[in-house]
Amino acid sequence: MEPESNVVSINGTDYIEDDFDERQRYLINQIRDLQLKSNNLRFQLDQVVVAQERFTEELIKALEENTKEEAIPQPNLN
């Protein structure tokens, strides 16, 4: 069985990667690498956003606890 050639679809047209010249292969490899980097950066950004939100929640919680501790005690009327 003959291995399938990679097919690249650009603007609705399919191209066989084996038919690319050296420059075209270089460009498609650059594009693939940039797509991979873009996906990795999105993944990392998702992690950073979630961590930032969690730290913000923790800060708000800590400030609220601090405010409660500093509240003036009410006199016991019993």
Quick one: three-class SS letters along the chain?
CCCCCCEEEECCEEEEHHHCCHHHHHHHHHHHHHHHHHHHHHHHHHHHHHHHHHHHHHHHHHHHHHHHHHCCCCCCCC
Per-residue confidence band for 73, with pLDDT thresholds at 50, 70 and 90 = low
Q: What would the pLDDT profile of 15-63 be if each residue is shown by its tens digit?
A: 999 999 999 999 999 999 999 999 999 999 999 999 999 999 999 999 9
Number of domains in the chain: 1
pTM for this entry: 0.66
Position 23 in a domain: yes
Q: Which domain holds residue 53?
A: 7-69
Position 77 in a domain: no
Position 62 in a domain: yes
Identify the residue whose tokens are 């690319």.
20
* Whether the Cβ atoms of residue 55 and residue 63 lie closer than 8 Å to each other: no
